[in-house]
Amino acid sequence: MKRPPFGAAFSFSQALLHRAAFWYKGTLHQQRSLQMKIGFMGLGIMGAPMCRNILARGHELTVFNRTASKAEPLREAGAVVAATPAELAEASDVVVTMVTDHGAVDGLLFGGKGALRALRGKTFVNMSTVLPEYSRLLAHRLEENGTRFVDAPVSGSSTAAEKAGLIILAGGDLELVDSLEPLFGAVGCKTVHCGETGQGSMMKLANNLVLSVMLQGVAEGMRFGIEGNLDRETIMEVLLSGPMASQLLEFKKTMLVQSEFPAQFPLKDMAKDVNLIAETTGNLPLEFPCATAAGIQFNHAVSLGFGEEDCAAIFKLL
């Protein structure tokens, strides 16, 4: 077999290099086009690790937190720290909140030096857990301001937030939700479009209703076995070996066996969520007895001072 002449081989190599350079430039352009100017407000147990993951994806990030010291580690990591919500919104194309409740969201948007005016023509994403009705009312108010809105609470604890393993529960226009994938992909492993505005919030409450009831069931089952002189580790081994096995049990097994509950999802936040569930069920035509029981138990646990511990500390009530 004859080898091609040197000139032909050289031309072929040049063509390959040209294609490689074209591909690299195209890929680089695509990566840059996916980069976003993101403003993030709320740097607590969930927000701080989410921001680190946003920075890791190369997005421009501006942050704000009412307790300013919480923003310093992110400043050192490359984020810009805004002095006010308004300043943050001015610097961003997409603004995110991840805060405790709707009162905190309102304060950041509509309070003194709030973000609202600077959000005109931009997108606001609330990832906090709030009432579905609040999300719908907020969407209407933002629409009047010329602001696009998606409610996008998450499923997952601080551990999932650290690993960019959150499930994004998005409500709103599908095209708008899809356009936010560079953001959602930075903090989560899956985005679920739950329907129109408010349905992301509804899905979050449905998810946490199941979570609250499961936690109470596991706690009672563990206590039942312990009172019958079964070993804690043996109980957990059986639960994890059979049809009761779940990610939840896997995540909480060490806490329940050792009776130590460092917060991944604080119990006070679980109590807040079951209260939102109770408020939502009041507008529905059915009764939800398990949700009612969970509400009683989690609120009682908060009253006994367990609120800063993990939600699995519901076990301590028994």
Catalytic positions, written as ranges: 204
What distance in Å separates the CA atoms of residue 5 and residue 17, rounded to the nearest whole number? 19
What distance in Å separates the CA atoms of residue 165 and residue 199, rounded to the nearest whole number? 21
Q: Which two tokens stand for residue 226?
A: 């312990």
**231: helix, strand or coil:** coil
Q: What is the DSSP string of 67-128?
A: SGGGGHHHHHHTPEEPSSHHHHHHT-SEEEE--SSHHHHHHHHHSTT-STGGGTTSEEEE-S
What distance in Å separates the CA atoms of residue 158 and residue 175, rounded to the nearest whole number? 29
Q: Which two tokens stand for residue 70?
A: 């919480």
What distance in Å separates the CA atoms of residue 2 and residue 193, rounded to the nearest whole number? 59
Q: Looking at the DSSP assignment, which residues form a beta bridge with residue 191?
A: 168
Q: Which amino acid is at 102?
A: H
What distance in Å separates the CA atoms of residue 262 and residue 45, rounded to the nearest whole number? 12
The residue length of the chain stands at: 318
Rounded to 5°, the CA angle 229-232-220 comes to 80
Q: What's the N-to-C CA distance of the chain in angstroms? A: 84
| 305 class by beta-carbon count within 10 Å (0-12 exposed, 13-18 middle, 19+ buried) | exposed
